[in-house]
Amino acid sequence: MKSIQVNLGNRSYPIHVQSGLMQQSASILSDYNHGQKWVIISQFNLMELFGFDLLNLLKEADFDADFVTLPVGESAKNITEFSRVVGQMVELNCDRSATIIALGGGVVGDVAGFVASSFMRGIEYYQIPTTLLAMVDSSIGGKTGINIVEGKNLVGAIYQPQGVLIDPDILDSLPREEVIAGLGEVIKYGAIWDRNFLNEIASWVENLDTFPYEDAITKSCEIKAEVVSKDEREGDLRRILNFGHTIGHALESHLGYGRIRHGEAVALGMKCAGFISQKLGLLSKEEQSTLVETINRLPLPELRHINGNHLMPFIKTDKKSEKGGLNFVVLDGLGNATTTTDVTEDLIQESLKVLN
């Protein structure tokens, strides 16, 4: 089993990566079972796929375990669902000793983590991500939150889990298009941090049927753990993890959650950010071409006639904005990301042409 440490002092925790890990989860968590209530927060379809098996494993190991489900989709990330989950935990007689297991993708992890951060003013939780995107990104680093009408993830907290358990075999149970959509986040790690890793990914995506997911997940987790360990609260370095996300989040908000997958939106946002990086003289045309060619090997949705005027309100309210200025993530060469406040609205509008 590969274990990667997120080093945050007394909030440090391990990321375990191994095929078949789900079957070992009760054993791994047993040292932290002190008779408290354990609540799996998931979606009913995921409970049917692996959640009820996990629940039985926990009960057989003398865990006092139960579950709460969320609706499928981004619509679950709202204050109403948050309140409903908290209410159900009260009904299950949860107290300050209760422990949450977030079993699902980014939506489940975001809501479950936010519940953990606020229930009884904070209880422990673990992440068991079930999508590629969650495995390499959202389950690590403690970002939790819900959406409001004005934008994505504008209400939330940075609240670290006690551990992350990743079983790449879970991906075999998911629709292929859902798995492939998560590759946008994998490409991001090579683009912002490791040019050699990006070169490997470029080779791997030439044949998606043989893509080495466990290797890609492990390397992506190593990079994210290193970044988060150096900058937990996104004061500086951690902002580079938002490469492609400013425009990606705007696309999600504008088109409607569910119309485009998060990983797809990030991939398209990276194409725009690469264009902007090249226009700013930070990325050569050859490097931009390498990035775009790698992204274009993914089966991304075709977007026609994207109106920048419709996207700009979402970009301006993006949580990466400070004091009216936007901290935009660009590439100063492949494998080296930085942030700048020099990206104008006109340049963002111009970059959108790469989507049409």
More confident residue, 323 or 344: 344
pLDDT in tens, 38-56: 999 999 999 999 999 999 9
Q: Of 121, 285, 305, 323, which one is the catalytic site residue?
A: 121
Are 127 and 215 within one domain? no
Q: What amino acid is encoded at 312 in this protein?
A: M
Are 78 and 157 within one domain? yes
Quick one: pLDDT band at residue 255, thresholds 50, 70, 90? confident
Are 247 and 321 within one domain? yes
Q: Is 84 tagged catalytic?
A: no
Q: Is 245 tagged catalytic?
A: yes
State how far the Cα of 2 lies from the Cα of 8, in Å rounded to an integer: 19
Q: Of 74, 232, 234, 264, which one is the catalytic site residue?
A: 234
Q: Is 234 tagged catalytic?
A: yes
| Count of CA atoms in the C-beta half-sphere (13 A) of 230 | 11
State how far the Cα of 304 lies from the Cα of 72, in Å rounded to an integer: 27
Q: What amino acid is encoded at 123 in this protein?
A: I
Are 180 and 169 within one domain? no
State how far the Cα of 314 lies from the Cα of 150, in Å rounded to an integer: 8
Quick one: pLDDT band at residue 319, thresholds 50, 70, 90? low
Task: Decide if 133 contacts 181 (C-beta within 8 A).
Answer: yes
Q: Of 152, 188, 219, 224, which one is the catalytic site residue?
A: 224
Q: Of 16, 239, 245, 254, which one is the catalytic site residue?
A: 245
State how far the Cα of 286 lies from the Cα of 68, in Å rounded to an integer: 50
Q: What amino acid is encoded at 315 in this protein?
A: I
Q: Is 262 tagged catalytic?
A: yes
Q: Is 224 tagged catalytic?
A: yes
Q: Is 305 tagged catalytic?
A: no
Q: Cα(first)–Cα(last) distance of the chain, in Å?
A: 44
Q: Of 242, 252, 271, 319, which one is the catalytic site residue?
A: 242
DSSP 99: E
Are 11 and 137 within one domain? yes
Q: Of 16, 37, 77, 143, which one is the catalytic site residue?
A: 143
pTM (2 d.p.): 0.93
pLDDT in tens, 304-316: 778 888 888 888 7
Note the pLDDT of residue 296. 95
3-state helix, strand, coil in the chain (%, to 5): 55, 20, 25
Are 164 and 222 within one domain? no
pLDDT in tens, 160-201: 999 999 999 999 988 888 898 899 999 999 999 999 999 999
Among 155, 173, 191, residue at a domain's last position: 173
Quick one: pLDDT band at residue 320, thresholds 50, 70, 90? low
Coil, strand or helix at 249: helix
**Dihedral pair phi/psi, residue 236, rounded to 5°:** -155, -80
Note the pLDDT of residue 251. 92
Number of domains in the chain: 2
Q: Is 185 tagged catalytic?
A: yes
- Tell me the average pLDDT across 295-312: 86
Q: Is 16 tagged catalytic?
A: no
Quick one: pLDDT band at residue 303, thresholds 50, 70, 90? confident
pLDDT in tens, 56-102: 999 999 999 999 999 998 889 999 999 999 999 999 999 999 999 99
- Tell me the average pLDDT across 251-266: 85
Note the pLDDT of residue 257. 63
pLDDT in tens, 9-29: 999 999 999 999 999 999 999
Are 96 and 30 within one domain? yes
Q: Of 37, 254, 261, 262, which one is the catalytic site residue?
A: 262
CA distances from 265 to 144, 160, 228 (A): 19, 26, 23
DSSP 333: S
Q: Is 350 tagged catalytic?
A: no
CATH of the domain at 128: 3.40.50.1970
| Count of CA atoms in the C-beta half-sphere (13 A) of 85 | 30
Are 188 and 234 within one domain? yes
- The alpha carbon torsion through 169, 214, 3, 98 (nearest 10 deg) reads -40
Q: Two tokens at 184?
A: 């946008």
Among 173, 207, 225, residue at a domain's last position: 173
What's the whole-number average pLDDT of the chain? 94
Are 150 and 189 within one domain? no
Are 138 and 235 within one domain? no
DSSP 51: I
Q: Of 16, 37, 188, 249, which one is the catalytic site residue?
A: 249
Is 323's pLDDT higher than 70?
Answer: no
Domain span at 30: 2-173
Note the pLDDT of residue 91. 98
Are 26 and 109 within one domain? yes
Q: Two tokens at 116?
A: 């953990």
